[in-house]
Amino acid sequence: MGKSKEEFELAIDNLKSSKTEDEILSHLTFIVKGFNISLYKNILISNPYYKSLLEDVKEDVLFDLNKLKEVIEEEILSIDDVLKKEGDSIKLRDLKGDCISLSYEIDNKISEIKSLI
């Protein structure tokens, strides 16, 4: 989710040079998943064709993010179970903390994408 400005510009160039709707959808999805909304919102919304495809892309990305969040939450529960059975482990506590942080990042990305259009 933290890609560079150069990567963003390349993604936009790839989008603009797309020849088919499938290519456009693929590039739109890559952009929405991988970049901050402040970088791409005005560019995509200002193009009526991209804007018309954004709702489908938005739904697909939200579905993927929600699935990923479910997997992370299952992992957190699994880590809790291991901690209860085997006792305290610094590595497991660190892993759980990383999972919780990632879950918060996903929540933020979901909120960001919901506000897209």
Both tokens assigned to 27: 């590039």
> In whole angstroms, what is the distance from residue 27 CA to residue 11 CA?
7
Tokens of 77: 């529960």
24 token code pair: 């456009």
Max Cα separation, the chain? 57
pTM over 0.85: no
Quote the DSSP letter at residue 20: S
Pair of tokens at residue 49:
């064709």
On whether the CB atoms of residues 22 and 60 are closer than 8 A, the answer is no
Task: State the pLDDT at residue 23.
Answer: 97
Average pLDDT over residues 42-53: 94
User: What is the per-residue pLDDT across 78-91, written as a single tens digit (0 to 9) for each?
Assistant: 999 999 998 888 99
Residues 63, 81: Cα–Cα separation, whole Å: 27
Condensed to tens digits (0 to 9), the pLDDT of residues 92-103 reads 999 999 999 999
Type of residue numbered 51? K
C-alpha–C-alpha distance, residues 64 and 58, integer Å: 10
